[in-house]
Amino acid sequence: MHGVGVTAVTRRLHQLRPGTSSRVVFPQGCQLDGDFSPAISVGQAKLIRHNRVRFVQEVKLDRRNLEKGLQMTGRQALLLGTSLVASLLFWAQQCATAESVGGPIVRIAELEIDPGQLEAYKLALKEEIETSIRVEPGVLTLYAVSLKEHLEQIRLFETYRDAAAYESHLQSPHFKTYKGRTRQMVKLLKLVETEPILLGSKSR
């Protein structure tokens, strides 16, 4: 069997059962006739069997290593994802904190009041503004004016120390009372967002 490798021999020998008579054709025209059992020695058979067992063991080991590597990769991905989420939450909190302690908040409100309830509205607005200025440190200015030719058109100019002060004002009892009293008086309300450029005033 010149030129026939052990692997080729083994593959063809596995196709036969011991004690049977067959012809196995090998590459390069080599062949083995008759009962193949005596064709190889006991030592060669043991070597072939040993190599086969070793090959199977190596395949199983490689498979275990691969599964272990995939598990490690999954854990690393989970840790990376957790770290990323924690970083995003941290920066979101930082941004929220920066906004709450940032610069002043300026709001402009444009209102249209029912002409028949204009005087009642102006009284409720006056009480709300006076209370807010007196009890809320974060409320810096509350200016209310009406258009000369359309007195039912009211404009409010509001300045708050920061976003937290503005939110606190919206939750104050006197503001909620004002909203409840004037709900049926206000026909139209438009809030205008602004970006302060310069806020100047003189102390009285």
pLDDT tens-digit map of 145-171: 999 999 999 999 999 999 999 999 999
- Of the CA atoms within 13 Å of residue 172, those in its CB half-sphere come to 21
Across the chain, mean pLDDT equals 76
Q: Are residues 36 and 111 in the same domain?
A: no
Residue 97 domain-assigned?
Answer: no
pLDDT for residue 63: 72
Helices marked H in the chain? 6-13, 42-100, 118-135, 163-170, 173-182
Residue 168 domain-assigned?
Answer: yes
pLDDT in tens, 95-124: 555 444 578 999 999 999 999 999 999 999
Q: Are residues 184 and 110 in the same domain?
A: yes
Residue 46 domain-assigned?
Answer: no
Quote the tokens at residue 129.
Answer: 């503004």
Instruction: Print the domain residue range for 176.
Output: 105-193
Residue 158 domain-assigned?
Answer: yes
Residue 22 domain-assigned?
Answer: yes
Residue 162 domain-assigned?
Answer: yes
Q: Are residues 109 and 183 in the same domain?
A: yes
Residue 163 domain-assigned?
Answer: yes
Residue 50 domain-assigned?
Answer: no
Alpha-carbon span 105 to 163, nearest angstrom: 6
Q: What is the reported pTM? A: 0.52
Any idea what the CATH number is for the domain that residue 185 is in? 3.30.70.100
Alpha-carbon span 78 to 21, nearest angstrom: 60
Residues in the chain: 204
pLDDT in tens, 184-199: 999 999 999 999 898 8
Number of domains within the chain: 2
